[in-house]
Structure 1
Amino acid sequence: MEKITKESLFDLKSVAQPVQCDEEIFYIENSINKEENRYESYIYSYHLKTGEKKRWGNDSHSVSGLSISPNKKYLSFLAADSKKKQQIMLMPIQGGRAFNLTDEKEGVTSFIWNETGASVYYQTSQLPEEEEKSDFPQSKSWSKLSYKLDGAGLLPENKQYQLKKIDVAFESNSHTILEKDYSFSLKHVAKDESFMLIEEDLDSEDEWRYGSTVYYYDLKDKHSYSLTKEIAEGSFSFGAIKNDNLCLLVGNDFTHGFVTQDKIYLYDIKKATLTCLTENEDLQVGDALISDFQQKNKGVSIEWLDDESFIFPVTEHGKIVLYQGTIQGEVKELYNERLHLTDGVLIDDDSMIVTYSTLTNPSSLGLLNLTTKKIEELYNPNGTVLSKIELSKPEMFWFKGARDWNIQGWYMPPVESKENHKAILYIHGGPQVAYGESFFHEMQVYTANGYGVILLNPRGGQGYGQEFVKSILGDYGNEDYEDLMLGLDYCLTEYPEIDKNQVYVAGGSYGGFMTNWIVGHTNRFKAAVTQRSISNWLSFYGTSDIGPFFVKYQLESDLSDVEKLWKMSPLSHVHKAKTPLLVLHGEEDLRCPQEQGEQMYTAMKKNEIPTKMVVYPESSHGLSRQGLPNLRMDRIQQIINWFEEY
């Protein structure tokens, strides 16, 4: 058997966005092209009766947004045109070439079919006509609080966001339905096209008011109102609608700021009433699991089962668990297995087409029977590759953290088991996310290189109840740090084959903050790697794309309390550091700007501690997951080289 390598990422594939048309299941298959240094995705279909797999061709190497027209005539999707702008493409299901439905200068971001399949509503944008270009550098300016976004860069303030409608039979016959000078998102169009539901900010006029909600927009009289107007604060999104009346929303009232668990709400349009259906459930609705492998997944859909009940996903103990709810507020568990459901859509009352991952299976397409609670694997794109490589088999455990709380973790032993082996404590980001039962390519590479990998879900992460996730508000680096150290102690006891003198630490984002914090509070690690990190909350406040809101709602502070923010900043403790530190950062990271890594680097150099900084061009905060493939390879090798040096 071969060992997995960092280059194995080019051999492995993932599947996403399944949709059904009669006996045919259409889905996207994602891969990475090493020679072109790019991600690629193509459309395939799987026939439920014959098992036949077929590729559906088009000229684009990247597609998304799969859907079937209501009349089942077309497979529709978004694909880049020659100018690298996404356009709506239609492909006849009965055969024929794909063709462009739109030709928007700024591209299309999303679309929805009308009930008959004769027309499509879609979203685009428009920028003012460019002035004559100069050969000389030009100034840039902004006047809004939210003027940039990680992965997108500076946000143009004069952009117009548009909703248009186009007839399929007359492609040139498109007209604007709605236009705003701020972004919004179309979620539903009524069957009779009398109204639509859109998501947008709670208050577009108040830039310091955080949150979003769903609005009812009357297409005839242009009147609109918020479905959650009785809740002053919060953040809500569209879930599903039944009979153009009963609308399921996912959201929260911001009782605990960013970390308020999302719940299911029901808005009755005819009665104009809003009811929380999971008020008494200590559950986080949605998918908060992290990995570095999945691409273009939408997650399990919230869907109506009948006129009174519905299905919804929950992040729970490192898994995605399916629940059934009713309009009376009854909730029961439907499916709970140790895996990561990455996509899921109902195809009948008892079955779902799903994509899923496990700790040792990157991605599969399957048929989930909700009665038997079994998944029938329909297609595994990695069967041949997996038969040739040996993977680490992670072991799940629970231990006692700070205040004797139960904390969950996983230990990934080296592929070749041996006494006195090295180990890495790898800390996740967020912190309102969680490790779980999902494939992690990077971690498997470390185990193939002789390292054990310790993955812990300390307090502050999702999937363990409201008290657990809100417990670190305004208190970063205290009991969350204690959880991590107690978890390491547990592993060193339970896995005595780990050499306690050869333990390393790494992490990104919040995990980068915690790595920086750790080197200033303990010398028990031989070396450390901090990635896309936070070192100084004071400068983070003014330079991160989410700085003011994150500091306010996570640290419960702002610039009026400099002493508190400085005390919680790793930079204020770095004078005690003795651990060799590698600093990795993306040059286009606007979430945790590069200056955060540079400050940590300079402070460590001042201490005369072995330190190195590596930066990556064309790389935002998501480098380790969606970054340029060659830079992802370099990043993993830099980490291995650093640990090998020490």
Structure 2
Amino acid sequence: MPAAKPKTKKDDWRITPEDFYEIKFASEPQISPGGSTIAYTQLEPDYENNSYKSAIWVVTTAGGEPQKFTSGEKRDHSPRWSPDGNKLAFVSNRTGKNQIYVIDSYGGEAWQLTRMPNGVSDPAWSPDGTKLVFISRTNDEERKLETERDRRPPERLDAEARKKLEEEHKKEEEEKADPRVITRIIYRAETRYRDDRNSHVYVVDLKEKKAKRLTSGERDYVAPVWEPSGQSILASVKRVGDPDNSTIVDVVRIPAKGGKLQLVVRTSGYEADAHPSPDGKWIAYMMTPEKRTSAQNSFLMVVSAKGGTPRNLTESLDRSVNSPAWSHDSRSIYCLCADQGDVSIRNITLSNGKIETIVSGRRSIQWLDVSNTSLLTYMLSAPDIPSDIFTARSDGSKEKRLTEVNKEFLSKKKLSKPEEMWYESFDGKKIQGWLFKPADFDSKKKYPLLLEIHGGPHVMWGLSERTMWHEWQTFAAAGYVVFASNPRGSDGYGYDFKDAIHLNWGEEDAQDILTGVDHVVQKGYIDAKKMVITGGSYGGFMTAWIIGHDQRFAAAFSQRGVYNLTSFYGCTDATRLIEWEFDSFPWDEPDLLWKHSPIAYVKNIKTPLLIKHGELDFRAPINTAEELYMALRKLGREVAFVRYPREGHELSRSGEPKHRVDRLNRMLDWFDSHIGRKPKKRKAV
């Protein structure tokens, strides 16, 4: 591969796969206590190292030029202001494992606070600003050694000594996993095999720099947060029992000095993301009921800090919400809500349960934070904004854009302006979709159509979908009309719509998608002989399903899909998905799962297919892709198989930069070569 980053022609206004190296991503906005400054993470691809680097940036809420606050040569992220606003803690891997660093708010050199052998996550300041709580993974042996380690300050090592220690640690881990002894149902997840460690809650004092563990046992604790008194910490943990056979998670109270844990509320559901009110009287948390369907909405709950019966604040909304954040006066709670392709900010008044839409529009909002003056800050994506930081007043007024992290890049490009469309499906149900046309679109011409299908299945796309921004713009710039929709089963349209594919994958949702294609073709500017199809995860499933039932597409590109539901069940880290979606186990209803498996219709697949998969994808393991490829080869069909080493299920969203660029180039070449275009034989660069 070349050493220099590829250059785009100065006069080329088109978005290309290689433009990915130029795109920056703003995220994780955190507003200072007084509301004057926002710290956020800015991530960008690191071409030379084929990875990513990120730094903490700051910008005043009054406006002005954002300033780079940390070096960002590695991965600095998770900024957290101290309660008095004088310090900023963040997490960085600059010395290897993720550790907590602290820097004064006026700048200077950051100093390392933790030296945990297995790294840290989820830092949160104590109310008095003298301590931080965090999560770190340990096993029994390591916890036994902690008592001795706690008696002395953390050892400071030079670079050579630290490297030697890390190499020894790595060697020990490799020896422990050879052979790998499996004792759990879910023994691998994401891209790694699970070890014998569990996530535990620790507290570190800024002066003593010593970490103290507050939890024990073989349970995983997540999302610790201090209660306003500073005497206790809230966290979420799975209920005692087989952790792989239950999704029931409880919110617990942990004494800050150590001691017996207290159950805050006991329900039959997944409880997480607990947030105490500023006045200490209430605890808000997210809850998803444990019912045999993965289409359940996530509800915002509130309970007295003293205990009692929880209240469901968003049951009447019939939408999933997330990211709760209290107003400074403890009278209401802000949250994010997915609704008909957009993500808005809602506010729920505690006294009467009134739900108001505060910030809305054609956008997707993430990472909501609220100051003690109730100034809101959030990351916003829109068709012309890959990601930037915004603020608004507590009532949603005076919205202000504080960053333009891609201003220079976008100034050279012409973007596709998406068009929303609603159409009637085969049974009259209204379906929402979007068209991304080339920026130089001419209605008198005929264009190839790219059908994009989302995963999940219970997720939602919209015209502002951040994770698809570059891909959709790339194909529109390459001369394709891109069509994406939210068929039944998607989030954002209510529980009944989301649950409509229960026991019925690939049937009515596929008809929703293909009916949408029919509506687009009827507009008159699509060449029906030059239509191609792609999708990832459930979208990969659906791509293979559709070409096994329909012959209208010139080529297909199936990504990280599931093609045999029976063998998928025995290999995935998401076994509950099959149990919930089909109300059974493979050995009880083998015919049902086979009926809804794309590979059952492999003899009908005539469309040229390229199968793409990550070799370390433990969500949708590669074995079903291998089965589909083998079957098509045996049948003599046109099929290709591209396997990406080191990659998991998230290749298209967070994979190695050169793999992400290569994926788009291969898609373009595969499709171009099957619609009569001369492929450019693009290479990964």
1:534 to 544, 547, 562: 562
Query: Aligned partners of 2:359 and 2:597: how far apart in 1?
Result: 42
Alignment of 1:87-106 (within 5 A): 87-106=99-118
CA distance change for structure 1 residues 264 and 133 in 2, over 3 Å: closer, same or farther?
closer
Q: Name 2:207's counterpart in structure 1.
A: 169
Is 2:335 the partner of 1:312?
yes
CA contact (8 A) 2:347 2:358 kept: yes
CA distance change for structure 1 residues 399 and 125 in 2, over 3 Å: closer, same or farther?
same
Q: Which runs of 5+ in 2 are unaligned?
A: 1-11, 143-168, 675-685
1:448 to 477, 501, 506: 477
Higher-strand-fraction structure: 1
Deviation at 1:562, TM superposition (A): 0.6
Deviation at 1:516, TM superposition (A): 0.9
Specify the code of the residue in structure 2 equivalent to 1:567: K
Q: Name 1:302's counterpart in structure 2.
A: 325
Q: Which TM-score applies when normalising by structure 1?
A: 0.92
Shifted more, 6-15 versus 251-260: the winner is 251-260
Shifted more, 343-352 versus 38-47: the winner is 343-352
Is 2:24 the partner of 1:4?
no
Alignment of 1:216-235 (within 5 A): 216-219=253-256, 222-229=259-266, 231-235=267-271
Q: Which runs of 5+ in 1 are unaligned?
A: 287-299
2:185 to 135, 142, 145: 145
CA contact (8 A) 1:429 1:507 kept: yes
Is 2:582 the partner of 1:555?
yes
CA contact (8 A) 1:239 1:250 kept: no
Q: Name 1:292's counterpart in structure 2.
A: none
Q: Name 2:194's counterpart in structure 1.
A: 155
Query: Aligned partners of 1:39 and 1:133: how far apart in 2?
Result: 25
Q: Name 2:499's counterpart in structure 1.
A: 470
1:78 to 81, 84, 91: 91
Deviation at 1:568, TM superposition (A): 0.7
Shifted more, 393-402 versus 472-481: the winner is 393-402
Shifted more, 421-430 versus 113-122: the winner is 113-122
Deviation at 1:138, TM superposition (A): 2.5
Specify the SS of the correspondent of 2:277.
strand
Deviation at 1:160, TM superposition (A): 4.6
CA distance change for structure 1 residues 25 and 254 in 2, over 3 Å: closer, same or farther?
same
1:421 to 423, 444, 447: 447
RMSD: 2.2
Divergent runs of 4+, >6 A: 129-137
Q: Deviations over 1:191-238 (max 9, x none)?
A: 333322111113344642223231233456833344341x33445442
Shifted more, 378-387 versus 580-589: the winner is 378-387
Alignment of 1:430-509 (within 5 A): 430-436=456-462, 437-439=464-466, 440-494=469-523, 496-509=524-537
Q: Deviations over 1:161-211 (max 9, x none)?
A: 43222221122x332222232211142222333322111113344642223
Query: Aligned partners of 1:373 and 1:64: how far apart in 2?
Result: 29
Deviation at 1:107, TM superposition (A): 0.9
CA contact (8 A) 1:557 1:565 kept: no
Q: Name 1:358's counterpart in structure 2.
A: 382
Q: Deviations over 1:603-640 (max 9, x none)?
A: 11122111000000110000001000001111111111
Q: Name 2:573's counterpart in structure 1.
A: 545
Shifted more, 183-192 versus 33-42: the winner is 183-192
Q: Which TM-score applies when normalising by structure 2?
A: 0.87
Alignment of 1:187-198 (within 5 A): 187-198=224-235
Specify the code of the residue in structure 2 equivalent to 1:433: V
Q: Name 2:123's counterpart in structure 1.
A: 111
Q: Name 1:295's counterpart in structure 2.
A: none
CA distance change for structure 1 residues 350 and 214 in 2, over 3 Å: closer, same or farther?
closer
Shifted more, 20-29 versus 69-78: the winner is 20-29
Specify the SS of the correspondent of 2:475.
helix
Deviation at 1:524, TM superposition (A): 0.8
Specify the SS of the correspondent of 2:317.
coil
CA contact (8 A) 2:40 2:57 kept: yes
Deviation at 1:74, TM superposition (A): 1.1
CA contact (8 A) 1:238 1:249 kept: yes
Query: Aligned partners of 2:199 and 2:174: how far apart in 1?
Result: 27
CA distance change for structure 1 residues 372 and 50 in 2, over 3 Å: closer, same or farther?
closer
Alignment of 1:14-33 (within 5 A): 14-21=25-32, 22=34, 23-33=36-46
Query: Aligned partners of 1:592 and 1:242: how far apart in 2?
Result: 42
Q: Name 2:219's counterpart in structure 1.
A: 182
Query: Aligned partners of 1:370 and 1:125: how far apart in 2?
Result: 38
Deviation at 1:72, TM superposition (A): 2.1
CA distance change for structure 1 residues 614 and 371 in 2, over 3 Å: closer, same or farther?
same
Alignment of 1:313-328 (within 5 A): 313-327=336-350, 328=352
Deviation at 1:266, TM superposition (A): 0.9
1:34 to 38, 47, 53: 47
CA contact (8 A) 1:165 1:177 kept: yes
